[in-house]
Amino acid sequence: MPRMNAVSIIGLPREELLRRFLSKELRNDGAFVVGVLTTGIYCLPSCVARQPKPENVRFFADEDAARATGLRACKRCKPDRFYQRFDPDGELVVDLAQEARRNPIRFIDVGAMISAAGVGKAKLTELFRRYFHTSPADHLMAARIAHAAEHLSRGGAKVIDAGLAAGFESSSPFHQHFRRSMGLSPGAYKEFCIGTDDGFSLTLPENFRYQDLFVMFGRDASGVCERVEGARGIKALLLHDRPVRLEFSFRSKSVDIRLKGPRRITRHTRLEAHSSARRMLNFASDPGAFEKRIARMAGMGRLVRGRRGLRIPQTSDFFEGLTWVIVGQQVNLSFASSCRSALIQLAGRDAGDGFRAHPDPQAVSELMVEDLKALKFSGRKAEYLIDAARKIVSGELDSDVLVLLPADQLDERLLAIRGLGPWSTQYLAMRSFGFEDCVPVGDAGLVAALQRFFNLEERPDVNETLRCMEPFAPHRSLATCHLWKTLAEQK
C-alpha cells in the first residue's frame, strides 16, 4: 500500500531535500535516506543527532542505496530498525492524520479521507482505532476545532470565517462542536483570547464528574501543588514559564477558573491556562460511546453503574506524568506522594499562597542524584528522573513530537526512556496523551479488580489480563479507570 505523501527523490532539487531534512518531520521517514559522508553513516530524515554541514550530506532513495556506498546505520535514529519494521498501513494512516491536522479543509468529510487513503471505510476506521485510538470522524473534528481556535486566537477574523477556514460548512455545527470541545462558544473564545480578564468560565459536558479530578488533586496530603477545598480545587503549575494557581470552582453545568500568582498574568499565560484546564478536565474524551456499548453487553453494564460520565483526568503536561510513573513504581501511594511532594518543595517554583508549581525538566535536569536520594528517592529512580529531564532539555525527548505519534511509535519512544516498562508506558499514554485503548498490564490494582469483577479463582497473569480486557476495546483505558474505581468503592 503506497504512502499517502510518499516522496520520490528523483527529480527533486537538492535544496528541497535539504529543507525537508532540516525540518526533522517524521512524515519524511521512509521517503528518503540521508547520508553523512564525513561520519560514514546514514540517517532517517527526522534524526535529532547533531546537524551536519550541507556539503557533507548526500541523499538516497532508500536504505539499500545508502548501504551500497559503504555507509552504516546511525546508532541514534536506527534507520535499519525502521526499515525492518516498515509498516505500510501505519504509514498510510499517520500521513492521513498529519494531513488532516495541517489542512482539515482538504477533507469535506470522512468520505474524502477514504478517497485519499484508497481503502474502504471499515479498513480506515480500523486503522485509526489501532494507531490513534479514535475514529476518522473524531480525528477530523479535532483537527477542525484546533484549526479554528488558532484562527480565532489571532483576533482579526470574523467568527464564521474561522469556521469556514477549518472546513465547517455552516455556523450551527461549528458553534455546537466548538463549544463542546473548548467549553466556550467561538465568539467567547475569540474575546477571551484578546481580553485581559484573569478568569474564564467553561461549559461542562453532560454528566461531568468533577470528583474524579479532585481525587487526583487530593492524593498529596501536603497540598503543596494541588489542594481541594469543598467544591473548589486548586492546582499550581508553570504556564509560559510563570508559576500560577488555577482555581476551579464547579457549578452544576459550568466551572469558573481563576488565575492567580506572584507575577502578572500575561496573554500567553491565559491561553495556556485554558489549554491546561481543558486537558486536565479531559474535554477531548467522550465516555458516552463506551457507556452505550457496555450497556448492550450481557453482564457488563454493572461496571459503569453509578459512574456515568467518568472521564480520565489528564496530567497537566507530559513531564508531570513522567515524574509520577517514575516516582510511583513499586511503592505505595502514600510514599510516592511524599517523594513527589518533597521534589516539588525542592525544585518547584513559588506560586503564592503556600503553593509551589511542579518543577519543569530544566529544574530537575540541574539536580544531582544525591539531591534526590536525600528526599528518600532510590538511587536508580533518581538517575532515571534526572536522565529523562536532561533528554527533554536537550531536545532528544520532545513532547511536541510525542503528542503527534501513533500509539505504537509512542510506546516505543517511551520504552526507550530508562526506568520505564510496559506498565509505565501504557499509563503515560492513557493519562498524559489521552489514548483511549490502553491496558497497563502488570498494574496491581487492575489485576485485583479484574479478579473480583470476573470472579476469577486466581489473579490474572499478563495474557489473562489482556484476554479479560479485550471485550472493552476500543475503550480499555476508560474500562481500566472504572475497574480501579470498583476497588476504591469496596474499601
The residues carrying an active-site annotation are 443
All residues at 6 or more sequence positions from 241 whose CB lies less than 8 Å from its CB, including other chains: none
CA distance 17 to 7: 10
Say how many CA atoms lie within 13 Å of 227 toward its Cβ: 15
The residues that bridge with 57 in the sheet, in sequence order, are 36
Say how many CA atoms lie within 13 Å of 39 toward its Cβ: 16
From residue 462, alpha-carbon distances to 389, 439, 475 in Å are: 30, 10, 18
CA distance 126 to 437: 13
The residues that bridge with 257 in the sheet, in sequence order, are 200, 248
What sign does the dihedral 219-222-225-228 (CA atoms) show?
positive
Secondary structure E strands in 127-173: none
Residue 29: phi and psi, rounded to 5, are: -65, 130
CA distance 281 to 180: 12
What sign does the dihedral 263-265-267-273 (CA atoms) show?
positive
DSSP 269-335: HHHHHHHHHHHHHTTT--THHHHHHHHTSTTTGGGTTT-TT---PPPSSHHHHHHHHHHHTTS-HHH
Q: Edge-to-edge, what's the strand order for the sheet holding 242-250?
A: 199-203, 254-260, 242-250, 232-239, 226-229
- Residue whose C-alpha cell reads 540517517 in the numeric block: 43
Residue 109: phi and psi, rounded to 5, are: -165, -175
Based on its alpha-carbon atoms, the radius of gyration of the chain, rounded to whole angstroms, reads 24
CA distance 451 to 449: 5
Report the SS3 class of residue 435: coil
